Amino acid sequence: MAGDEGFRETVQPAQQQTEERLQELRKLLNKQDGDALRIVGVGAGAWGSVFIAMLQDAYGHMRDSVQVRIWRRGGKAVDRASAKHLFEVINSREDVLRRLIRKCAYLKYVEGRLGDRTLYADEILRDGFCVNMLDTPLCPLKVVTNLEEAVWDADIVVNGLPSTETRAVFEQIGRYWRERRTMPLIISLAKGVEASIKPVPHIVTPTKMILDSTGVPIEQVLYLGGPNIAAEVYNKEYANARICGSEKWRKPLARFLRQPHFIVWDNSDLVTHEVMGGLKNVYAIGAGMVAELTNESATSKSVYFALCTSEMIYITHLLSEEPERLAGPLLADTYVTLLKGRNAWYGHQLATGELTPDMGDSIKGKGMIQGVSAVEAFHELLRQPSLSVIHPELNKPVAPVELCPILQTLYKILIQRDLQPEGILQALRDENMYDPRQRIEIAQDKAYYMPQLLSIPNKTRSSTPGRHVVGNGLVRMMETPSTTVEV
């Protein structure tokens, strides 16, 4: 009995903290008694599903105070091979098996395995199974397949869509919200970017797509990134995240999301962290290739890590006025993605020949491989002559991508498709490749910061050679200091 009392004493404070965090957020959102806080996930990929399942697991028992649900498109069939694998997973987990039997849902998985019934992605998600992560059963979720029904009265919307789908879906959501008097909070989990060339070359992030599509005030849009792996988060292994955005919302949201196994920090720099979340996926694909092609050679992988992080640091100096603040998050998120992420897995599969770039970047059982579109976006952006930098040896203006040989090689493999995966080793062993230290010194010694890449106006250093302020307050790097441009 004494042991039971001790157990209750440790559990009750944790439950009390959970309730207090929820009540703090409800108060900030002006929720009255009897009016549940409505949280909706949009998109049910691996991370989107795990994130909503984590909230359901933590807060779902307080039904009068919070309602958690997730939207995914209806009608996506689960093929027979996946149904058979799912059946095997169910039977290997006694807790899951008993739960399905109690719900009278077990028989449909038997029939799905035999091919006597078609299972659907939204159907199995209600039972706690994500099609992109069948080996990790989740808790049962409230699934909605009508987008308007899912979001029209939501207080918090979690964007779990790939960046390639974010704009189209949120344009539709924006139409539903035209008559809303108050806009919801939006937490974006998406890690991908687009490149836009006009009026000046710049990066378009998922939060920018959401802002443009919905009219939600910028202080109500936040980004949440790693380092973490979706399956590890739900299995309650130690995980970490960083929520970025306005101070009013990021701090209470960090407290609301924080759990004993899921540590959440907060940061004011939304856009740069979001872009870095997309950039690390680029190099994770190459890491998977190198690991497979060298039979997991520790030396080859470490050299690749040194080279790719030096390119990332160089690119970070182009994007951020104070890049040193990103060093920890950038390296941590990169490291975990290179170790165990779907982009690294994709690189492995390309190197073995199990997959080819021609098969596309949406892979059954994994979902969207965001690094592919990110390779194209960063290469397109950094090859623009208007962003020219002085080459340290040639002493002439070159596009920034010329100082990123790994990015160039990945572009040739994944986008142009005129180079085989083995080409990544050629780049790695090129005797003309800079020592990583040199590339980092180039970025640090030169005033390379280009605020227009993140659409940041009026951040100028007119004394910098080759940098000129143009009519709209943005900065453009020119090929020669004497060039003038009107915008």
Residues annotated as catalytic are: 280
If phi > 0 it is left, if psi is from -120 to 50 it is alpha, else beta; for residue 246 that is: beta
- Please state, in angstroms and rounded to a whole number, the distance separating the CA atoms of residues 351 and 291: 9
Nearby residues of 395 by Cβ (< 8 Å), 6 or more positions away: none
Please give the backbone phi and psi of residue 156, each rounded to the nearest 5 degrees, phi first: -135, 125
Closest CA relative to residue 280, chosen from 243, 333, 351? 333
What is the Cα–Cα distance from 72 to 145, expressed in whole angstroms? 5
Q: Is 268 exposed, middle or buried (0-12, 13-18, 19+ CB in 10 A)?
A: exposed
- Amino acid present at 27: K
d(CA 178, CA 152): 10
E strand segments, 111-257: 119-120, 143-144, 156-159, 185-188, 194-196, 202-204, 221-225, 239-244
The Cα 279–Cα 276 span in angstroms is 5
At 34 the three-state DSSP class reads coil
